[in-house]
Amino acid sequence: MPARDLPPGAVRRVGPWTVGNRGGEPFAVSSRCRHQLADLSKGTIDADGCLVCPWHQAKYDVTTGSMVAGPKGLLGYHGPTPGYTQLVRGYASLLKLRVRRAIRRGDDVVVE
């Protein structure tokens, strides 16, 4: 199933994949945050082109699947957690998001 209507900065769910438009270039990554499994298709793309988790704002490089900034909080808490943030980022370096190629076909974006 393709993604339609994917303007710059948009993020959508396509099957098991989170598909987005990063500066005009489509991307596809697996959809579960490595922190507490939030649905990354509900996330946003920041000014650096990173995918930001909707729950605790962990950031991912969508070209590699790496977590580049750890979460800010846990469970229902949203705020600074410096040691915990680094711990999560550390284990996330071993559990990167899966990355797939996403391409445009007309008005659609499909995951290969």
The angle at the Cα of 26, spanning 25 to 32, to the nearest 5 degrees, equals 135
Near ligand FES in 71-100, by CB under 6 A: 71
- Asked if 53 interacts with ligand FES (CB under 6 A), we say yes
Nearer to ligand FES, 13 or 104 (CB): 13
Q: How far is the CB of 42 from ligand FES (least distance, A)?
A: 10
Kindly determine how many residues on this chain lie close enough to bind ligand FES according to the rule CB under 6 A.
9
As a dihedral over the C-alpha atoms of residue 95, residue 33, residue 64, residue 80, rounded to 10 degrees, the angle is: -90
- Asked if 33 interacts with ligand FES (CB under 6 A), we say yes
- Asked if 6 interacts with ligand FES (CB under 6 A), we say no
3-state secondary structure 37-92: CCEHHHCEECCCCCEECCCCCCEECCCCCCEEECCCEECCEECCCHHHHHHHHHHH
Instruction: Please tell me the distance from the alpha carbon of residue 16 to that of residue 11, in angstroms, as a whole number.
Output: 13
Nearer to ligand FES, 78 or 101 (CB): 78
- Asked if 36 interacts with ligand FES (CB under 6 A), we say yes
Contact residues for ligand FES (CB under 6 A)? Answer: 33, 35-36, 38, 53, 55-56, 58, 71
